[in-house]
């Protein structure tokens, strides 16, 4: 077998060295990620340039790239906080967050890759303690869940805006009260509901009674007016009108004039 030319050995060695350098000098950034470049011999973290985007990148072997997830992420927290009257309440909440991509270098420089534990968790816990401490257990159990959710979101967002982190939403999934407090609230709510139903029945009955009184009064007034307006002459006149209409009927009949009460006619027929 012929020996390889002497020039082939340096080429092979050079190729191996190049491959090693490329493997150490290249970085691939995946979907939904961004990279922060750290220049070992040039002022460290790069903060005045946009972060490295998705795809393949070549960097100097003595520099480093720190990769961050820049898509929306979720933090689930179970927190025990105190209500306005000092009772312990458990809040189950989720926070949707993501780093501000354009400030990724500053985020890395000030907080690092564990920024979730450094700033997001303390912020949401502090906001939850502050907000829940304004309400009673009864308010938290019934009508104020949406309110505390909005307030926790606003207070946490205000803190994180200074930390290069974007908070998108806070969702309060559950509010757990001590069983004794929960049972007492449920009994009170049931009693209030029963009281409202009783009041509704009373109001309905009163309205129905008022309706009956109005109708009876109307009938009494009508009868009084009718009685006051009727006299013997009017009744006689109406009797004559009725006699004339009956006399025009084709049915056979006998009419006796002036034989009824008050001189009104009596009508005798086949029936």
Residues contacting 121, CB < 8 A, separation 6+: 75, 77
Per DSSP bridges, beta strands 33-39 and 253-256 are unpaired
The reported pLDDT for the residue numbered 216 is 81
Residues contacting 26, CB < 8 A, separation 6+: 56, 57, 58, 59
CB 69 within 8 A of CB 44: no
The reported pLDDT for the residue numbered 84 is 84
pLDDT surpasses 50 at 124: yes
Per DSSP bridges, beta strands 26-29 and 55-58 are antiparallel
pLDDT digits (tens, 9 = 90+) for 61-76: 888 999 999 999 999 9
The CA R_g of the chain, rounded to the nearest whole Å, is 47
The reported pLDDT for the residue numbered 238 is 66
- Between 172 and 256, the more confident residue is 172
- Percentage of the chain with pLDDT > 70? 65
Q: Return the bridge partners of 175, or none.
A: 91
Residue 225 — very low, low, confident or very high, per pLDDT cuts 50/70/90? confident
The reported pLDDT for the residue numbered 265 is 58
End-to-end CA, the chain? 147
pLDDT digits (tens, 9 = 90+) for 232-247: 666 566 666 666 666 6
Q: What is the mean pLDDT of residues 147-155?
A: 92
Mean pLDDT of the chain: 79
What class, spelled out in words, does domain 73-182 have in CATH? alpha beta
CA 158 to chain centre: 22
pLDDT surpasses 80 at 9: no
Q: What is the mean pLDDT of residues 167-182?
A: 82
264 φ/ψ angles, rounded to the nearest 5 degrees:
-75, 150
The full length of the chain comes to 271
Give the CA-trace dihedral at 241, 246, 249, 250, to 10 degrees.
-150
- Percentage of the chain with pLDDT > 90? 34
The reported pLDDT for the residue numbered 86 is 82
**DSSP for 156-192, written as a single string:** HHHHHGGGTEEEEEEEEEEEE--HHHHHHHHHHHHHH
Tokens of 101: 């991509």
Please name which of 147, 153, 140 lies closest in space to residue 91, comparing C-alpha atoms. Answer: 140
CB 101 within 8 A of CB 34: yes
pLDDT surpasses 70 at 18: no
pLDDT digits (tens, 9 = 90+) for 20-59: 555 567 889 999 999 999 998 888 999 988 999 999 988 8
Full-model pTM: 0.60
pLDDT surpasses 50 at 1: no
Domain boundaries, the chain: 8-69, 73-182
- Between 55 and 216, the more confident residue is 55
3-state secondary structure of 261: helix
């Amino acid at each position: 077998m012929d020996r390889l030319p002497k020039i082939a050995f340096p080429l092979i060695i050079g190729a191996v060295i190049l491959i090693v350098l490329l493997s150490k000098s290249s970085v691939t950034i995946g979907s939904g990620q961004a990279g922060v470049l750290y220049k070992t011999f040039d002022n460290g973290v790069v903060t005045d340039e946009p972060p490295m985007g998705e795809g393949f990148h070549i960097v100097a072997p003595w520099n480093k790239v720190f990769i961050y997830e820049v898509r929306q992420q979720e933090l689930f927290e179970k927190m025990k906080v105190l209500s306005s009257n000092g009772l312990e309440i458990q809040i189950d909440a989720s926070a949707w967050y993501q780093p501000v991509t354009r400030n990724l270098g500053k985020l890395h420089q000030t907080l690092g890759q564990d920024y979730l534990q450094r700033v997001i968790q303390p912020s949401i816990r502090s906001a939850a303690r502050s907000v829940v401490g304004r309400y009673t257990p009864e308010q938290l159990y019934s009508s104020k869940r949406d309110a505390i959710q909005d307030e926790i979101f606003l207070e946490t967002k205000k803190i994180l805006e200074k930390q290069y982190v974007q908070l998108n939403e806070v969702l309060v999934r559950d509010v757990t009260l001590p069983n004794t407090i929960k049972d007492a609230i449920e009994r009170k709510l049931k009693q209030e509901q029963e009281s409202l139903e009783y009041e509704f029945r009373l109001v309905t009955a009163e309205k129905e009674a008022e309706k009956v009184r109005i109708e009876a009064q109307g009938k009494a007034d009508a009868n009084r007016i009718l009685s006051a307006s009727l006299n013997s002459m009017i009744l006689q006149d109406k009797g004559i009108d009725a006699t004339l209409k009956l006399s025009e009927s084709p049915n056979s009949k006998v009419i006796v004039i002036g034989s009824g009460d008050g001189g009104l006619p009596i009508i005798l027929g086949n029936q």
